[in-house]
Structure 1
Amino acid sequence: MRFSVLDRAQAIVGDSDADALKRTLDHARYVEDLGFSRFFVAEHHGVPGIAGSAPTVLAAAVAAQTSSIRVGTAGIMLPAHQPVVAAEQIAVLEALFPGRIDAGVGNSVGFTQPVRDALRQGDPTELKAAFPADVAELLAYLRGEAEITARPANAGATPVWLLAGFKSVLTAAQLGVNVIVGGPSLFDRGAQRGDCASGGAQRGDCASGGAQRHPYLECYREIHPAGQAIVSVDIAVAETREAARELLMPQIVAGVLSRTTGSFDALDPRASRVRLTATQRARVDESLAMSIFGSPEQVRDELGQLCEFCGVDEVLVTGGMADIAGQRHSEKLLAEMMD
């Protein structure tokens, strides 16, 4: 089992945005020393609690501060960028840090209407529908197959990863790119094969080596055998399940409150004591159900089951924490689980 990390450059109550960005650089150096495989940074615009707005710029800083860990974007949100500009930024990273860059791309639009207006974004449905074509255009620029060549020339050197829910992994397969998969379906043992190219078989027909596998990732591999897949999930490890749960609560509560207020605020270490409505408490429980947390033995067991189900050997650890010492301890315990 291998681990990578997504760091959104989240602020903690009392922080400045600069503090959050500097902590991201410290985080990258720390997990590199632990032996993690990749370090991804994100793109969020106009979000009070997240300083990570320019992933290629931050990725360059991370790569310059580290020496061996692969550095990636997770991702560049193509509805906010012209594909040629995104390709040029990726190509600059690859030229400066050859063999260390992963280009993750996604289709998220601005969090609120004012942010979408500032990004000059039109109808979100239309933007998401255009995403496959945008990725294809990006690939053409990176591979030197477009009418113009993005400079510096990349010649397809940088691996491209699609950030996907399970129902969009087939888009990644059809485009011939790698995939990072997360979301509720990650734990759905009753998922259907749906419109997979190989037909509407049920989950049991996807078994490999006696173990049941997630149908969408099986379909992905059938269409794109050379593709790589990573699963992403919020993870926390501590001596007890309750202590691990506490590590996740600041981000989970911030996410739940954002659905009410429209603002994802800085992580609050006192999140467990925040008064929530019944609906909000139910949403917290839903988020915890889609997370993996507990003692090292509990987490190792749950991760083993997840990796077996999805047929992967790499997990992208997500979930910002307000307790930095607790986060580092959690990651150290994860590192001890690596093969």
Structure 2
Amino acid sequence: MTTPPSRFLQQVLSATAPQAQDWHLASGVLARWHSDNAVELLPAAAHPAGHHILLSCGIHGNETAPVEVVDKMLADIASGNLPLQHRVLVLFGNPDAMRQGERYLDYDLNRLFCGAHQQHPDTREAGHAARLEQQAARFFRHAPATAPRLHYDLHTAIRGSVYEKFAIYPFLHQRAHDPAQLAWLKHCGIEAVLLHSKPANTFSYYTSHYHQAHAFTLELGKARPFGQNDLSRFAGIDQALRQLVSNTTPALAAYQPGDYPLFRAKYDLIKHSQAFRLYLDADVENFTALPDGFLIAEDGAQRYVATGGAERILFPNPGVKPGLRAGIIVEPATL
């Protein structure tokens, strides 16, 4: 890291249980450790319209920039430089993988929520997923039914992107997309939003569906090791989160169609076997347009062919295990 990690991140990376559950910080803030990866921050006085904000990072252990952004916020809350006005839970998702600088150790953690971890009991990530579900459930259980519940799951991507910063809005079933959240995403510097069209086993879908949170997966750039992140590229999300926890977000212009492109997931590229072949360059960027008729991938008799000329590829990764998603085909959408 370019600057030493705060004592919060040092604690996570040390692989030891906190010596004290409660840390008393500046301005009367209480930091309460629930485990070696989960710290809850409680303001000295509850805000009358208090939000309940879950920030998760390190779900993929090699995605270090969001960890650094959150860690610097924690350091400034601890020193009193960042006033805390709302209840916050910070979850460092996969500390084992973070310590080794790996995306995951046995299985992609962000495919194991909503109980999917029960299907992979032999993986280390299964235990992490179960624990993260429990930690989120406990946190939101103590939020009044009418209080705003927010979850921002912070990531960086394996590869570059036509839209460097984009959000994934989980499938909402019968709930409506929230215009205030869409406006806040623009305030963060988000350049595109993917509206998911079906349930998923991701952390943001879990909190959205099971705890009625306004939840998003935020992809904020490219994954790099600790110490190699240009944090100036994350200034938008850093400022927006700091304003959020300190209750200083300015009045935002209402969301308008056209503020940024919207996409909808059309279908997943599923890798059924080791015969799977993806016919795209290894360094292809997220949201690369696919010409009409282009053979995207094939797996035995299964062929994936682009149609219409408006489709794009997202998260192409032919190296996943058989049975997992090797990419998403998306298309333009409207609300």
**Greater helix share, structure number:** 1
> Which of 1 and 2 has higher RCO (CA within 8 Å, sep 6+)?
1
TM-score (norm 1): 0.29
TM-score (norm 2): 0.29
